Structure formats: C-alpha cells, structure tokens
Amino acid sequence: MQHIKSIIVRKTANRVIQKVDENIICEKVRQIIKQKSVEEFETLFYKNKTIYIKCYSAVFANELSLMQEELKQEINDLFRKTVLNKLIIKIG
C-alpha cells in the first residue's frame, strides 16, 4: 500500500513537469514566429497539442494561418515528436 504523501508528491511533480513543457513549447513557437517576421501577436496558452495565438492585426493573422502547416512541422521536428497538432488564431 502506498502512502498518501508519496502519491501527492508524484502527482504534483507530474503537473510541474507538464507545465514546464507547455511553457517551453510556447516559447519556441514565439521564437519561430518572430523569425518569420510576424510581430504583432501573443501566444495565449498551450493545451492538448493545440496552441492559442492572439494577433492584433488581421493581416498578420492571415499570414500566420498561411504558414500554419510549416510552423507545426518545424515545432514537431524540433521536439522530435508530435507536440503540436493545431494552431488557433484569434484576432483582437
């Protein structure tokens, strides 16, 4: 039988690792998008292999949507596994 303390420690550690991974993925997406000259954007969050991006210009949002497949491929290649399936781009 496991002690409740060991279960709680393990669950907490898994959540911390998952949050760090999410932050790393968001940061890498930011860097790649900035390299591609889209400047007016903000990565909101990452959840379930989907990243949510907010663009302040419809032109930049359109540009991002056009390079969505290339961006997904680049991120997945960088992490050597499928970490990104979808980009959701909001204008606002």
pLDDT of residue 29: 86
Q: Which domain holds residue 62?
A: 4-91
Q: How far apart are CA 25 and CA 31, in angstroms?
A: 10
pLDDT of residue 52: 92
Rounded average pLDDT per 10-residue block, the chain, 92 residues: 62 55 85 78 86 89 89 89 90 86
Nearest to 51 by CA among 71, 35, 36: 71
pLDDT of residue 4: 67
pLDDT of residue 69: 93
CB 19 within 8 A of CB 27: no
Domain count, the chain: 1
Q: How far apart are CA 69 and CA 56, in angstroms?
A: 21
The CATH number of the domain holding residue 38 is 3.30.300
Residues 6+ apart with CB under 8 A from 88: 50, 51, 52, 53
